[in-house]
Structure 1
Amino acid sequence: MTTEQLIGQEGPPAINELTLTPVDGGTLLTLVITYPDATVRESVLATGMADGMETSYARLESVM
């Protein structure tokens, strides 16, 4: 478990829970990010972070 906080963000940080699970042919990565409230969550989503993460994970999967 890790924490993260955007620069300039006030209040408690987000909590990240990363789980790696063996599956046939590889490993399943599950990342659950819990934000302190819906306002922070919406602010983070508005940055395009979700699209960037999806692109990064797809790129990683393509080379594995």
Structure 2
Amino acid sequence: MHPFAEMHEELGRRFAERHFEWVPYLYDYRLDDALEPLERSLIDRGAIEATGFRYVGEGPG
């Protein structure tokens, strides 16, 4: 597993970032999908940090 800063830097070298957002991830790690709203609520309240991200980038030319 690579630290986020390293992954984000490498993505930035190859793609122009068009969209980025932190998203729930833990619920999907072999847990019940019904936990996603709880995880999102905890993230929104600042009780936990999001561990997933959604990245959309555009390649050259």
* TM-score normalised by the chain length of structure 1: 0.27
Q: Which has the higher strand share?
A: 1
Higher helix share: 2
Give the TM-score normalised by the residue count of structure 2.
0.27
Q: Which has the higher contact order (CA 8 A, sep 6+)?
A: 2
